[in-house]
Amino acid sequence: MGRNYVIFILLVVISMAVNYGMPKKVIDQVQIVTVAGHDLAENDKVKTTVVAPFFAKEGELMDLLYTSTASSIYKNKIKLNAQSSEQLLIAKEEVILYNQDLASKGLEDYVSYLFRDPSMGADLLLAVVEDSTEEVLSSVDSSKGTGIYIQELLEHNTRHGHLPSADLKVFGAALKSKRRDPFLPLLALKEGKPHLKGLAFFDDDKLVDTIPITKAGVFRLLYERVDDGQYNMTTSDYKISVQNIESSRNIDAVKKGGQPEVTISVRFKGVVREFSEANATKKLPEIEKAVEKDFRKKAKKMVKRFQELNIDPLHIEGYVKGQVRKYNKKQFKQAYPEIPINIQADVSITESGARN
Amino acid sequence: MITLKDKVSSFFVFFLITAAQIGIGVLGFQRIISEYAGHDAWMSIIVAALAISGVIWLMYRMLGHHEEGDIIGIHRFTFGKWLGGLLSVLFAAYLVLLATVVLRTYVEIIQVWMFPHINVWALLLLILPLVYYIISVEFRTVVGVCFLGVVYPSFLLLTLFFPLKYAEPTNIMPVMDHSMIEIIQSSSLAILEFMGVSALLVFYPFIRDAAKSQKFAQLGNGATMLVYLAICIVSYLYYNQQELTDVIWATLGFWKIIELPFMARFEYFGISTLFFSILPNIALFTWASARTLDRTFHAGHKKMALLVITILFLVCVGMTDRMGVNIINDVAGKMGLVVLFVYVPLLFLLNVVRRKVKKNGS
């Protein structure tokens, strides 16, 4: 028995000793990259900028920015590491930015490394930048650090604003799926500060269209269930803003005369916060009707545009597949720009705030 | 000789069956079974479980008739000493293969997700002494590990709620979009996840009131089915089919979206906890293999356990990449199908005939 114990302990010790030499990563011997940006450079090369926060002393943070250009992202990793005093660790990135030129060329090759690396979280955020990601990354001056700054900029707009939720998982699912097209938030520089400019829509992995953030609210209501949204409208008579919107969305597809017919129904309720006239309470039914009409108009226009561009960010094909038996992929693809897509809106405005 | 002290209560059959069936397969079966039936493949899990339920019934019918009540006894009785012995050795080899698949795949996951630079052989030196410790003395230790192997990792099922945030119901619509044949084809792939049940052929005599324990075996099989079904449906809601073809370990992918305030990556915790799920697999299969060899050659259980573990070690070290792991997974799947659905029914029939002949003879 005693001999057995000796053998057991010996084996365990050998195992530990052999694996002791494994390369390790110690927290103060690495620089943790929080955000990376990829720009299209000349000759189809890619210019990568990474930012790693460096904690000089308690509460003080310095962003270290590194840039290099090479033909692939991991080649850049070598060049970037050649500049930094500690190993750059890319496993804890919060945001990855791509510039618009790169996105127009096709993102597939530049996002695949994110899926392949198991240390990448699925809630990593992606965004497109209008000009140079390097400029955006060097423009941020915040005690939070650039990575967290941009991450929070995108996150709070998703929680309360017009930005539909999109992270690596959602983007990847839409990119892989042959039945829908992805979209990403679009950032740009305005007076030297990054701001959320709008949404960028992709055809497969190529950027084909953008819309401003003010219009993204309509897309968001068409795309998903919203917990806290806003809707603004200007008519010839008045201006109105509906806040605290909670919405639900339903897509129904039926087959009519060999063609699928799709109906997107959006129901939302909210409260009036800004109204350029008096007596909102009395006019609520009227306002509801007007908002419904306005939403239908804006949504129709948006859907028409998607059909013209032959992109499907709303995942309409998925719903048709799910609800129409004997759906044929080829037929649908051909018919998509022409199929009737109806918009139904059911708006209820429950309150008009603390005033009549 | 198996004394009453060596036997376990029939209730534990539930844990033995469930622990033997749920193992490394839970991490990546979704992609494999969707090959034929696509988004309807979750139904093939039910088909596979029903088929296995039939096999369990067949096994009990066959085992109940023998005093020794295990596959070695049946082999000897049906085929005689030499042919029976040869078949027992083949069966032992099949059990070692099952253990290898589980262990090597687990090590692969550690390599890919946690420590890319790990030395496989050194890691195995850490795991295999533990396995030897479990299997070398008593069957009751194996049962204990199986019990804990069901209880400990069961809380991981709670993590299935996280991916529902991203659930896309259209991914599994319309239901029954594939033909029955495609679903059955897929279920032949799903069988791989239920194969652990073949250990029953060896541990049967260790159960008190063995003949009456069938309901626990069936319940265990049912529990396995529910676990796989839940994971499969959540996966199909979370991944679309095109995405699924790219993902090797779909279940591990769920954990990528879990971010807890005190833990940035849940995978590390999850993969470590899964060790409790794969340990009973390895222990039960290697124990069954060692027992089969011991009963065939009468060379001593400990020696055979050591032999089995050495083989396991060498095969696992010899396999170095994804290709190899894929190949043994495929081979084990095919062999499992043959063993459970061709060999066991055939053995059952031959055994019935042999018994009739013997009865008439005497």
Q: Does A323 touch chain B (CB under 8 A)?
A: yes
The answer to whether the Cβ–Cβ distance between B122 and A18 falls below 8 Å is: yes
Q: Does B119 touch chain A (CB under 8 A)?
A: yes
Residue B107 pLDDT exceeds 70: yes
Q: What is the rounded CA–CA span in Å between residue A157 and residue A213? A: 10
Q: Does B310 touch chain A (CB under 8 A)?
A: no
Of the three residues A178, A206, A222, the one that is the final residue of a domain is A222
Contact B165, B38 (CB under 8 A): no
In this prediction, residue B1 carries a pLDDT of: 64
Domain total in chain B: 1
The answer to whether the Cβ–Cβ distance between B117 and A22 falls below 8 Å is: yes
Of the three residues A175, A193, A222, the one that is the final residue of a domain is A222
Residue A258 pLDDT exceeds 70: yes
The answer to whether the Cβ–Cβ distance between B259 and A18 falls below 8 Å is: no
Q: What is the rounded CA–CA span in Å between residue B230 and residue B30? A: 11
DSSP classification of residue A164: P
Sign of CA dihedral A300, A305, A308, A311: negative
pLDDT mean over A190-199: 88
- A179 with A229, same domain: the answer is no
What is the share, in percent, of chain B residues with pLDDT greater than 90? Answer: 22
In this prediction, residue A87 carries a pLDDT of: 83
pLDDT mean over A150-173: 88
| Residue at token pair 């279940």 | B251
Query: What b/e string do you get for B93-102 counting C-beta neighbours within 10 Å, with b at 16 or more?
Result: ebbbbbbbbb
B221-264 pLDDT, tens digit each: 999 999 999 999 999 999 888 888 888 888 888 888 887 778 77
Number of Cβ pairs < 8 A linking chain A and chain B:
87
Q: Which residues constitute the domain of residue A81?
A: 27-222
Chain A residues closer than 8 Å to B251 by CB: none
Look over chain B and give the mean of its residue pLDDT values, rounded to a whole number. Answer: 86
DSSP classification of residue B342: I
Chain B residues closer than 8 Å to A12 by CB: 125-126, 129
Q: How would DSSP label each residue in B110-131?
A: IIIII-TT--HHHHHHHHHHHH
- By three-state DSSP, how is residue B276 classified? helix
Residue A106 pLDDT exceeds 90: no
Q: Which residues constitute the domain of residue B13?
A: 4-351
A136, A166, A116, A168: which is closest to A50 by C-alpha? Answer: A136
Contact B285, B199 (CB under 8 A): yes
The answer to whether the Cβ–Cβ distance between A12 and B264 falls below 8 Å is: no
- What residue type is A209 in one-letter code? D
pLDDT mean over A118-127: 83
In this prediction, residue B224 carries a pLDDT of: 92
In this prediction, residue B50 carries a pLDDT of: 92
- A290 with A322, same domain: the answer is yes
- A216 with A294, same domain: the answer is no
Instruction: Provide the edge-to-edge strand list for the sheet that holds A61-70.
Output: A61-70, A46-55, A35-40, A95-99, A125-129, A183-190, A193-203, A206-212
Q: What is the rounded CA–CA span in Å between residue A150 and residue A196? A: 10
B283-340 pLDDT, tens digit each: 999 999 999 999 888 888 888 998 999 999 998 888 877 788 888 888 888 888 888 8
- A214 with A235, same domain: the answer is no
A7-26 pLDDT, tens digit each: 888 888 888 888 887 777 77
C-beta neighbour count of B138 within 10 angstroms: 16
Task: Find the Cα–Cα–Cα–Cα dihedral B161, B166, B172, B173, rounded to 10°.
Answer: 120
**ipTM surpassing 0.90, yes or no?**
no
Contact B55, B196 (CB under 8 A): no
Q: What is the rounded CA–CA span in Å between residue B127 and residue B133? A: 10
Length of chain A: 356
- A136 with A278, same domain: the answer is no
Chain A residues closer than 8 Å to B259 by CB: 121, 123
In this prediction, residue B362 carries a pLDDT of: 59
Task: Name the band, by pLDDT with cuts 50, 70 and 90, for residue B54.
Answer: very high
| A63 in any annotated domain | yes
Chain A residues closer than 8 Å to B173 by CB: 321-323
Q: Does A115 touch chain B (CB under 8 A)?
A: yes
The answer to whether the Cβ–Cβ distance between A322 and B122 falls below 8 Å is: no
In this prediction, residue B361 carries a pLDDT of: 67
The answer to whether the Cβ–Cβ distance between B129 and A11 falls below 8 Å is: yes
Q: What is the rounded CA–CA span in Å between residue B341 and residue B355? A: 22
Q: Residue B361 contacts by C-beta under 8 Å, 6 or more apart in sequence?
A: none
Residue A256 has phi, psi (to 5 degrees) of: -130, 115
The CATH number of residue B260's host domain is 1.20.1740.10
| B200 in any annotated domain | yes
